[in-house]
Amino acid sequence: MLVTIDVGNTQTVMGLFDGDDLVDQWRLSTVRERTADEYRLFFEGLLRQDGHRLDRVGGVALSSVVPEAKEALTAMAHEMVDGPVLVIGPGVKTGMAINIDSPREVGADRVVNAVAAQARYGTPVISVDFGTSTNFDVVDADGAYIGGSIAPGLAVSEDALIAATAALRRVEIVEPRAAIGRSTVEAMQSGLIYGHAGLVDGIMERLALEVGGNPARVATGGLASTIVPHCRSVEIVDDRLTLDGLRLIFERNMGDEA
């Protein structure tokens, strides 16, 4: 079995694969100060509580945009798993050409999403990942990663709004009764949710026009199911896109030994 781990700035998602089947997944808060020993406790506990055995895990695939967490999780994986540990980064075989100005600068999570989007939905394809930032990634008709767009995420936008005003406070990120908010809370919910949906539509339409060929459009990330119902430009929500990308890259580098 294979464990896949994607570390974002806000959340860490772990998946457990048996071949192509995602048999379990977990979502944790990303804590930069968490040590390898603490991750080991989390990891063992998650497996045990859901009836999985550590001795059946034969490999780990890891992507991280948080250097401290990557170091701790890599140490944990090498200590706990009797098998290969693949950390996504420069030099790792993805099976995808990276046709941008500085290929070494692109985030590992963005390449992972692009690999999975191509494999699952063909080309051209555009993925949008709703995380701390909202990342758009584009694969052209030839199957090459050609870049994309990075926008502030929904939570970042809310934080900035609150920090810059004296009277506004944090609100629950849910759909208001109407776009015309009848209270300050509903007005903020309207601006955050419908405003972010409009941002997604505007960027997605520009990217689709530039890549051409009527690309498939797929969303992933923790807030995808909240925002996508209010978008007109996104067709698919795929909660396991990043985890599948990690599995595919692991297999391309190691074979399906795990």
Tell me: the pLDDT tens digits for 87-135? 998 889 999 999 999 998 998 999 999 999 999 999 999 999 999 999 9
**Fold match, 2-87 / 103-242:** yes
Q: In whole angstroms, how large is the CA radius of gyration of the chain? A: 19
Query: Has residue 258 got a pLDDT over 80?
Result: no
Average pLDDT, the chain: 94
Q: Name the architecture of domain 103-242.
A: 2-Layer Sandwich (3.30)
Tell me what pLDDT residue 254 has. 84
pTM comes to 0.92
- Residue 109 annotated to the active site: yes
Give the Cβ contact number of residue 1 at 10 Å: 21
Tell me what pLDDT residue 255 has. 60
Query: Has residue 256 got a pLDDT over 70?
Result: no
Tell me: the pLDDT tens digits for 213-229? 999 999 999 899 999 99
Tell me: the pLDDT tens digits for 164-190? 999 999 999 999 999 999 999 999 999
- What is the pLDDT averaged over residues 9-33? 93
Q: At what angle do helices 154-163 and 184-211 cross, to 10 degrees?
A: 130
Sheet holding 59-64, edge to edge: 21-29, 11-18, 2-7, 59-64, 85-87
From the candidates 6, 109, 137, 238, give the one annotated as an active-site residue: 109
CATH assignment of 2-87?
3.30.420.40
Domain boundaries, the chain: 2-87, 103-242
